[in-house]
Amino acid sequence: MSSRTVDAAERRPSRWASMRTRTKVMLAIFVVVLLAVVAGFGIKVPYVILRPGPAPNTLGTFEGQKVLTLSGAKTYPTSGGLHFTTVSMVGGPGNRPSLIEYGLAKLDDHAQIYEESQLFAPQTTREQVQQQNEAEMTGSQSSAEVVAARQAGYDVPEMIEIAGISDSASEAKKLLRVKDVIVSVNGVKIADSLSLQREMKKVTPGQKVQLGITRGGKAMTFAVPTTKVEDRAVMGLALNPKATMPFKVNISVGDVGGPSAGTMFALAIYDELTPGALTGGKQIAGTGTMDSAGDVGAIGGIREKVVGARQAGATAFLAPADNCAELKGHVPSGLDVYRVATIKDAISTVEHVADGSTQGLPRCG
């Protein structure tokens, strides 16, 4: 009897010791995992992660503010949605993602991962990126206003000012000055960006252009050389079109930056300036830069934007012609993507989507 009692008593401490050992091991594993997670968040990697962002309706509100407000012009009630699409970005100068965020992005079907050097030049700062995004957003809004007003039948006077001269255009730098105003090309009057674009298309690359300008109110004409860029004749000038709008436009989009909402801004302004709902009450999204000549330009993150558009409930999407190839095999189910190259294309496509007559429209994907 006493022998059995002693044996049981001896075994009990052994079981407690075993449990304490297992507890210590589990605690050690937990601490190691916790330290690994903390370290993972602390280690920053030189990558940029792009995901679908919000797709605000330009005809509605965003972050509690009306996106589009027009004053000084007759406007008309509208309905439906003209959504501009965005990309959520983690990474970039001064804001690199953690190793954990990078690992999670590798498992996310909707995340695109780029090396930082693919999207940003060396030595670029976070402040420079923010400033560029703000400037591009302002420029896209200005061009959208001009284009939409003209499409709606308003006269919008425009002055084409030289904002900069390329270092490679050495002869032009000797002749021209920043703030010079372009008034003619080869004797043809330049009234706006569209007329300048039209006349420059007539110039053969390498040919000199008789460029009429005013400087401090004084008229001058110079023979400015051109070079070939993408089969076009260019003078190496950065231009700053300055338009006099017949009404005031206010666009509120919070801290969203970049130029890619230009096309959708132009459509929204045009919609409010013209009778009837351009969309026919449908939810249409899109993207694309817009210059003052009415051309739709390519943007980045097109694959993320079509996903964001579908998540926002859009069934039709307007994509820049130059982005179409990127969408092959990447269009979400339930979304029709249409190719547009100009503001006229965009307006016509929305009208066709509105009345259901989309057969024959050029598509992407």
DSSP output for 99-149: HHHHHHHHT-TT-EEEEHHHHS-TT--HHHHHHHHHHHHHHHHHHHHHHHH
In a domain, 351, yes or no: yes
76 and 148 belong to one structural domain: yes
In a domain, 38, yes or no: no
In a domain, 34, yes or no: no
Paired residues of 228 in beta bridges? 233
235 and 317 belong to one structural domain: no
In a domain, 256, yes or no: yes
226 and 258 belong to one structural domain: no
Q: What 3-state DSSP class applies to 7?
A: helix
Neighbour-count burial of 238, counting CB atoms closer than 10 A to its CB (0-12 exposed, 13-18 middle, 19+ buried): exposed
251 and 144 belong to one structural domain: yes
Give the active site residues: 260, 305
The pLDDT score that the predictor gives to residue 16 is 60
274 and 226 belong to one structural domain: no
Examine the fold and report which residue of 225, 243, 261 is the final residue of a domain before the chain moves on: 243
The pLDDT score that the predictor gives to residue 201 is 92
256 and 233 belong to one structural domain: no
252 and 142 belong to one structural domain: yes
In a domain, 23, yes or no: no
The pLDDT score that the predictor gives to residue 39 is 58
CATH assignment of the domain containing 226: 2.30.42.10
In a domain, 284, yes or no: yes
CATH assignment of the domain containing 336: 3.30.230.10
The pLDDT score that the predictor gives to residue 2 is 46
The pLDDT score that the predictor gives to residue 331 is 96
Structural domain tally of the chain?
2
Examine the fold and report which residue of 180, 215, 243 is the final residue of a domain before the chain moves on: 243
In a domain, 72, yes or no: yes
Residue type, 110: H
- Whether 72 and 154 have beta carbons less than 8 Å apart is answered as no
296 and 239 belong to one structural domain: no
344 and 251 belong to one structural domain: yes
For residue 212, give its domain range: 158-243
Those residues whose C-beta lies under 8 Å from the C-beta of residue 178, and which sit 6 or more positions away, are 162, 163, 164, 165
298 and 149 belong to one structural domain: yes
146 and 250 belong to one structural domain: yes
Examine the fold and report which residue of 210, 243, 276 is the final residue of a domain before the chain moves on: 243
In a domain, 33, yes or no: no
- Whether 247 and 71 have beta carbons less than 8 Å apart is answered as yes
- Show the low-confidence residues of the chain (pLDDT under 50): 1-6, 8
The b/e string for 151-173 (b: 16+ C-beta within 10 A; e otherwise) is: beeeebebbbbbeebeeebeebe
The pLDDT score that the predictor gives to residue 38 is 59
173 and 297 belong to one structural domain: no
Residue type, 39: A
